[in-house]
């Protein structure tokens, strides 16, 4: 799913930015809502692109991880391996004031005229 959608993402973000995709050495499979996951992935990559002001490389990584249970990140999670999907970029980072609000449903750093913003409330349900 991610491999196929990464091609679509590349077309959407434009030719002047190269998206990097990194896959786990072992196949990572999970039961997900494909449309919802694609929407979140696209939103994360677009936010990464915008955060870099058009310069840099957004990276999509998919892998396997058992730390979710071992480190107590999600106390109700059952033991086992989990698929981890992450998006990063080579931008300058996020200031502390922004980090404090990052998971607020309607928080945005965009001006009102741009009418964009993270839909981070979607991310929590994946």
Residue 93 confidence (pLDDT): 78
Distance of CA 123 to the CA centre of its chain: 8
Is residue 117 over pLDDT 50?
no
Residue 24 confidence (pLDDT): 80
**Calpha distance 98→108 (Å, rounded):** 9
Averaged pLDDT for residues 13-26: 82
Q: What is the pLDDT of residues 31-64, one digit of tens each?
A: 889 899 889 888 888 888 887 876 778 889 888 8
CB 56 within 8 A of CB 93: no
Residue 68 confidence (pLDDT): 65
Mean pLDDT of the chain: 78
pTM above 0.75?
A: no
**Calpha distance 56→100 (Å, rounded):** 25
Closest listed residue to residue 9, CA positions, set 122, 19, 47, 48: 19
HSE (side-chain half, CA atoms, 13 Å) at 109: 15
């Amino acid at each position: 799913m991610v491999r196929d959608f990464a091609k679509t993402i590349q077309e959407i973000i434009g030719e002047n930015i190269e998206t990097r995709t990194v896959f786990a050495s072992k196949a990572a499979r999970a039961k997900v809502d494909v449309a919802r996951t694609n929407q979140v992935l696209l939103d994360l990559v677009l936010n990464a692109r915008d955060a870099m002001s058009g310069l840099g490389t957004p990276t999509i990584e998919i892998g396997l991880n058992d730390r979710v249970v071992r480190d107590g990140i999600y106390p109700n999670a059952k033991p086992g391996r989990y698929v981890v999907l992450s998006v990063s970029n080579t931008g300058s980072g996020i200031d502390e004031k922004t980090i404090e609000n990052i998971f607020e449903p309607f928080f945005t750093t965009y001006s009102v005229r741009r009418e964009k913003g993270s839909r981070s409330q979607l991310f929590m349900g994946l």
